[in-house]
Amino acid sequence: MQSSVYFSGYTYLYIRMLRNPTLYAIPLEKRGDDKYLERWRSDLIHTSAMLLDKHNLIRYDKKTGNFQVSLAFCHLEIRKHMLKQFALAVCIYIV
């Protein structure tokens, strides 16, 4: 899990969280203690891994923090028509 936290430091989400912590519900008190948001990113990855494990997309060992991608997730393929359907559903929901 430590490598995931390290990798998340190179994402656009991380830059956005640093620039505008209130948008991502990061209290300013926590930002002072955790300048690079390592604990916050670790919690985010842990929560995401637990959710993916619940839906059998990965196997997540909570004690060690290790996770393994399941075969079902490897065969998941997103196609162009699926993205169009998703975009239409989001537009209908927002309007």
CATH C-level class of 2-94:
mainly alpha
pLDDT at 65: 83
Q: What is the pTM of this model?
A: 0.68
Band (pLDDT 50/70/90 cuts) for residue 38 is very high
81: helix, coil or strand?
helix
Band (pLDDT 50/70/90 cuts) for residue 54 is confident
pLDDT at 81: 67
Mean pLDDT of the chain: 79
Query: Quick one: CA dihedral 80, 95, 44, 27, positive or negative?
Result: positive
Work out the burial of residue 49: count CB atoms within 10 Å of its CB; fewer than 13 is exposed, 13-18 middle, 19 or more buried.
Answer: buried
pLDDT at 23 over 60: yes
